[in-house]
Amino acid sequence: MFAFILRRIIQAIFVMLVISLVGFSIQHQIGDPVRDLVGERVTPAEREVIRDQLGLNDPFYIQYFRFIKNACKGDLGLSFFYKKPALEVIVSKAPATIELVIVTAIILILVSIPSGIYAAIYPKSWFSRLVMAASTIGVAIPVFLTAIALIYLFGVELNWLPSYGRGETVNIWGWESGFFTWDGLKHLVLPSISLSSIMLPLFIRLVRAEMMEVLETEYIKFAWAKGLHRQRVWFIHAFKNTLLPVITVFGVQLGILFAFTILTETVFQWQGMGFMFLEAVERSDTSLLVAYLVVVGVIFVVVNTIVDIVYGYVNPMVRIVGTK
Partner 1 sequence: MSHLLEVIDLEVKFALRFGELTAINGVSFTLDKGERLGIVGESGAGKSVTGFAIINLLSKPGYISGGKILFEGRELNRLPEEEMRKIRGNSIGMIFQDPMMTLNPVLTISTQMVETVLAHQNISKADAMDLALEKLKKVHIPSPAKRLHQYPHECSGGMRQRIVVAIALLTNPSLIIADEPSTALDVTIQAEIMDLLLELCETEDMGLILITHDLAVVSQVTEKIAVMYAGKIVETGTTEAVVHDPKHPYTQGLIKALPGSLQPGARLNQIPGMMPTLTDIPAGCAFHPRCTISDTVCQMEVPALISIDDYDRMAACHMVEKSFP
- CB-based contacts of 217: which residues, under 8 Å, 6+ apart? 241
Q: Which string of x and - marks every residue 281-320 that binds partner 1 (by CB under 8 A)?
A: ---------------------------------xxxx--x
Minimum CB–partner distance for residue 214 and partner 1 (Å) = 10
Minimum CB–partner distance for residue 286 and partner 1 (Å) = 48
Minimum CB–partner distance for residue 122 and partner 1 (Å) = 13
Q: Is 93 in the site for partner 1 (CB under 8 A)?
A: no
Q: Which string of x and - marks every residue 196-225 that binds partner 1 (by CB under 8 A)?
A: ---------------------xxx-xxxxx
Contact between residue 19 and residue 297 where contact means Cβ atoms under 8 Å apart: yes
Q: How many beta carbons lie within 10 A of that of residue 263, not counting itself? A: 18
Q: In angstroms, rounded to a whole number, what is the distance separating the alpha carbons of residues 33 and 109?
A: 45
Contact window for partner 1 (CB under 8 A) among 60-68, 110-118, 124-132, 230-238: 230-238
**Hey, what amino acid is at 32?**
D
Q: In angstroms, rounded to a whole number, what is the distance separating the alpha carbons of residues 321 and 300?
A: 23
Q: In angstroms, rounded to a whole number, what is the distance separating the alpha carbons of residues 235 and 241?
A: 10
Contact window for partner 1 (CB under 8 A) among 103-111, 131-139, 234-242, 255-263: 234-242
Residues numbered 160 to 179 that lie near partner 1 (CB under 8 A) are: none
Report CA Rg, the chain.
Answer: 24
Contact between residue 237 and residue 226 where contact means Cβ atoms under 8 Å apart: no
Task: State how far the alpha carbon of 12 is from the alpha carbons of 121, 186, 248, 301, in Å.
Answer: 39, 36, 17, 6
Minimum CB–partner distance for residue 245 and partner 1 (Å) = 12
Among 149, 232, 256, 302, binds partner 1 (CB under 8 A): 232
Q: Is 231 in the site for partner 1 (CB under 8 A)?
A: no
Contact between residue 200 and residue 108 where contact means Cβ atoms under 8 Å apart: yes
Contact window for partner 1 (CB under 8 A) among 83-91, 101-109, 169-177, 233-241: 233-241
Q: How many beta carbons lie within 10 A of that of residue 324, not counting itself? A: 7
Q: Is 227 in the site for partner 1 (CB under 8 A)?
A: yes
Among 128, 241, 264, 287, binds partner 1 (CB under 8 A): 241
Minimum CB–partner distance for residue 226 and partner 1 (Å) = 4
Contact between residue 322 and residue 1 where contact means Cβ atoms under 8 Å apart: yes
Q: How many residues does the chain have?
A: 324
Enumerate binding residues for partner 1 (CB under 8 A).
Answer: 217-219, 221-229, 232, 236-237, 240-241, 244, 314-317, 320
